[in-house]
Amino acid sequence: MEKRQEIYRGKAKTVYATDDPQRLVMHYRDDVSAFDGAKLAKLDRKGETNNRINAWVMGKLAEAGIGTHFVSLLNERESLVKAMKMIPVECVVRNVCAGSMAKRYGIEEGTRLPEPIFEFFLKSDALHDPLVNDDHIRVLEWATEAEIAQMKALTHRVNALLKPLFANAGIDLVDYKLEFGHPLDDPQGELVLGDEFTPDGCRLWDAKTGEKLDKDRFRRDLGEVIEHYREVGRRIGVPL
């Protein structure tokens, strides 16, 4: 597999074409950002840490029969993934009230929810990822009714798998975001999970102390960001 030109550069990852138009190389950089890019930094070992955590999580999902774009780990910072046509919405699941939900509804952060709450957000940095509902997505043709149902069902399947997996490691899976799309080699097929699952895109708290183990350490200037990312990895069994 030959790595070729850069085709996309996000906040923390760069995507490269390969000699196979249906496969891409996802490169995890050491960049970290918050507040839609208003706060930026570089953190040593972040790229390799997230790459390995994501590969491990994607492997667990694949074992459970949940389709993902992940193909294989290439090296410390890079993974081979399927080229995708992504749906421009984020699927968020909340098991504990935190972050924007706590602010939006005036609920105390840390309030445990009797069942998971699912939310859709439009993926748009310029608009600060606004909350949207099924009708917005369907009427504005970001996704079909069938795709909306698939995204919800797949997200709840992911939650049912990962929540106890993290709990067994002494970690509360507070909330997280997922993104879905169709692989270019199966554009009419079922949706599969794209993007990544790392401490950048979820909230993870120590189950006993409530200590934050995720990107909130960067957002809130708590320090030792990567040390806590790597602790998450070690606890769930990621070889780091």
**Tally of CA atoms within 13 A in the half-sphere of 73 that contains its CB:** 18
Counted domains in the chain: 2
Looking at residue 30, what is its pLDDT?
A: 98
| In the block, residue with structure tokens 């507070």 | 174
- Indicate the helix (H) or strand (E) that contains 8: strand 3-9
Residue 33 lies in a domain: yes
Work out the number of other CB atoms within 10 angstroms of the CB of residue 128. 11
Instruction: List helix spans (H) across 64-212.
Output: 99-105, 134-139, 145-167
pLDDT of residue 159: 98
User: Do 80 and 96 belong together in one domain?
Assistant: no
Element (H, E) at 32: strand 31-34
Q: What pLDDT is stored for residue 179 in this prediction?
A: 98
Considering the domain architecture, whether residues 43 and 131 belong to the same structural domain is answered as: no
Note whether residue 102 is domain-resident. Answer: yes
Q: CA quadruple 190, 196, 201, 206: dihedral positive or negative?
A: positive
Whole domain around residue 44: which residue ranges? 3-84
Assess contact for 215 and 200: CB atoms under 8 A. Answer: yes
Residue 116 gets the label, from left (phi > 0), alpha (psi -120 to 50) or beta, of beta
Residue with tokens 């069902």, as numbered in its chain: 153
Determine the Cα–Cα distance for residues 216 and 25; give it in Å rounded to an integer: 28
- Cα 140 from Cα 216, distance rounded (Å): 33
* Tokens matching residue 105: 């509804």
Same domain for 210 and 159, yes or no, is yes
* CATH code: domain of residue 11: 3.30.200.20
Contacts of 88 (CB under 8 A, 6+ apart): 122, 123, 124, 142
Question: Are 122 and 75 in the same domain?
Answer: no
116 shares its domain with 78:
no
| 75 shares a domain with 118 | no
What is the rounded CA–CA span in Å between residue 31 and residue 53?
16
pLDDT at res. 38: 86
Q: What is 111-149 written as a DSSP string?
A: PEEEEEEEEEEE--TTTT--EE-HHHHHHTTSS-HHHHH
Distance CA 30, CA 43 (A): 5
Residue 36, pLDDT score = 81
One digit per residue, the tens of pLDDT, for the chain of length 240 reads 899 999 999 999 999 999 999 999 999 999 999 988 789 999 999 999 999 999 999 999 999 999 999 999 999 999 999 999 999 999 999 999 999 999 999 999 999 999 999 999 999 989 999 999 999 999 999 999 999 999 999 999 999 999 999 999 999 999 999 999 999 999 888 999 999 999 999 999 999 999 999 999 999 999 999 999 999 999 999 999
Which residues neighbour 127 within 8 Å (Cβ) at sequence distance 6 or greater? none
Instruction: Give the pLDDT score at 37.
Output: 79
- What would the two tokens of residue 223 be? 């320090």
